[in-house]
Structure 1
């Protein structure tokens, strides 16, 4: 390490990587940045995902075991900070290939628990749903419609590595995702505050796809009608509703419990 001169923020490779903060560039190049040790660890667990890892000298030493198999470019603190949108960067950022698969690959793997997010716009919410889906043992997740980019830095960071743990598909038409799940024998349940089935009375033991809508306006009626059932989480107090990531956690863990009973 002593004879390695860290790359600076003006270095050409650092500058090119920094352009991936823009969705258009990420989409065109099919590349993104994974910030932090958990994200880097997840990315390195997928063969061929990581192009290179940028690390500060201190992080290179701290995460030596993690980075042993990676191509590492040592950068100074300022260069690393320019690649991270974290307030307190951990010192490692991986340059990664996109990892989403075609929808048919995700739903043909005989999933028992699938998540379909329709028009979820907030990066933190999307990341939290992905993380929760991973924790609940889901077999895949679909970001459909006008959902936030799965590779948005805030989304990637919010997943805390879970983005790399379960199959991901991106589908422009949520209806196609719903019908694909149904064609594979999954019961599609729309999470809907006005649903006519109580979550804790619903039969969740079979293969299930949960359909979640936008944070502000939920699911459009025409999409919710495609689901096999509309399921409501009971509200016992005076709260008007639950936010998206909390509702997803309640629904997914209810399914996980029922499927493991």
Structure 2
């Protein structure tokens, strides 16, 4: 066994076989192929719902954009909404965090898709996932900002057949993820994490599962296997 395998085996002894097995099972279903980005969502509960939806559909990475620094992001993180989803925060004061996030996504090879009911380039039933894709969702009242809409590669909408102009942002995220994750899993794309990514994530999750003592236990084990 290599060093990471040894660390994983030692960490497992601290949380019990059943829980360790469940962590490993869930990791096998995780993906980096789809990423969710939420921009300036006004209501903390909706942001939390989107992150829980990410977890349910196996989305491992999300980004939170704040045009201006707001403490509610810190509160959301503190509540543990990110426990099983890795979150990048773009909340630097006096910075256009939307542009900073989109630039980083494109550098990382993502197709940046703005989810909006207005003037879409394509609707959800016709959209096929063919590469790494980042889905941008905006605030409840105004939707995505012009910076997000103008710098995205594509605008995507969910068909609506009633009087309402749009879905609630958490509902929209759930509908889009259900469709795209299903398409992704039926495709021939390599959507699962690499072996090394799975090992790294398993270490992180085993430590998180222990709560406060986790980091101290990890440091002790790392010192033992040097």
Instruction: Note whether the superposition's TM-score is higher than 0.5.
Output: yes
Shift of 1:162: 4.8
Query: Partners of 1:145 and 1:225 in 2: how far apart?
Result: 17
Equivalent residues of 2:60, 2:84 under 8 A apart: no
Residues 3-152 of structure 1 correspond to what in structure 2 (within 5 A)? 111-146=32-67, 149-152=72-75
Q: Is the 8 A contact 1:113 1:137 kept in 2?
A: no
Cα distance in 2 for residues equivalent to 1:114 and 1:141: 6
* Match of residue 204 from structure 2: none
Does the 8 Å contact 1:178/1:188 carry over to 2? yes
* Structure 2 gaps, min length 5: 1-14, 17-30, 92-96, 187-226
Partner of 2:182: 257
| Contact 2:40/2:65 (8 A) holds in 1 | yes
* CA offset digits 1:35-86 (Å, max 9, x no partner): xxxxxxxxxxxxxxxxxxxxxxxxxxxxxx99xxxxxxxxxxxxxxxxxxxx
Specify the alignment match of 2:131 in structure 1: 206
Match of 2:3 in 1: none
Return closer, same or farther for 1:228/1:149 CA change in 2, 3 Å cut-off.
same
Please list every run of 5 or more consecutive structure 1 residues that lacks an aligned counterpart in the other structure. Answer: 1-64, 67-109
Higher relative contact order (CA 8 A, sep 6+): 2
Larger gyration radius, structure 1 or structure 2? 1
What's the RMSD between the two structures over aligned residues?
A: 2.3
* Distance in structure 2 (CA, Å) of the matches to 1:115 and 1:191: 10
Query: Any conservation in 2 of the 1:112–1:139 contact (CA below 8 Å)?
Result: no
- SS of residue in 2 equivalent to 1:189: strand
SS at match of 1:215: coil
Counterpart in 2 of 1:165? 84
Deviation at 1:119?
A: 0.7
| Residue-pair matches, total | 150
Deviation track 1:81-111 (CA, whole Å, cap 9, x = no partner) reads xxxxxxxxxxxxxxxxxxxxxxxxxxxxx92
Give the alignment partner of residue 189 of structure 1, picking from 83, 91, 113: 113
Give the one of 134, 138, 150 matched to 1:225: 150
Check the 8 A contact 1:205/1:255 in 2, yes or no.
Answer: no
Please give the per-residue CA displacement for 1:98-134, whole angstroms capped at 9, x wherever unaligned. Answer: xxxxxxxxxxxx9211111111120100100000011
Aligned structure 1 segments of 4 or more residues deviating by more than 3 angstroms: none
The verdict on how the C-alpha distance between 1:162 and 1:222 changes in structure 2, with shifts beyond 3 A counting, is closer
Structure-2 separation of matches of 1:180 and 1:200: 28
Asked whether the 8 Å contact 1:205–1:258 carries over to 2, the reply is no
- Asked if 2 retains the 8 angstrom alpha-carbon contact of 1:120 and 1:214, the reply is yes
- Using the size of structure 1 for normalisation, the TM-score is 0.53
Q: Which has the higher helix share?
A: 2
In the alignment, the residues of structure 2 paired with residue 156 and residue 134 of structure 1 have an alpha-carbon distance, to the nearest angstrom, of 17
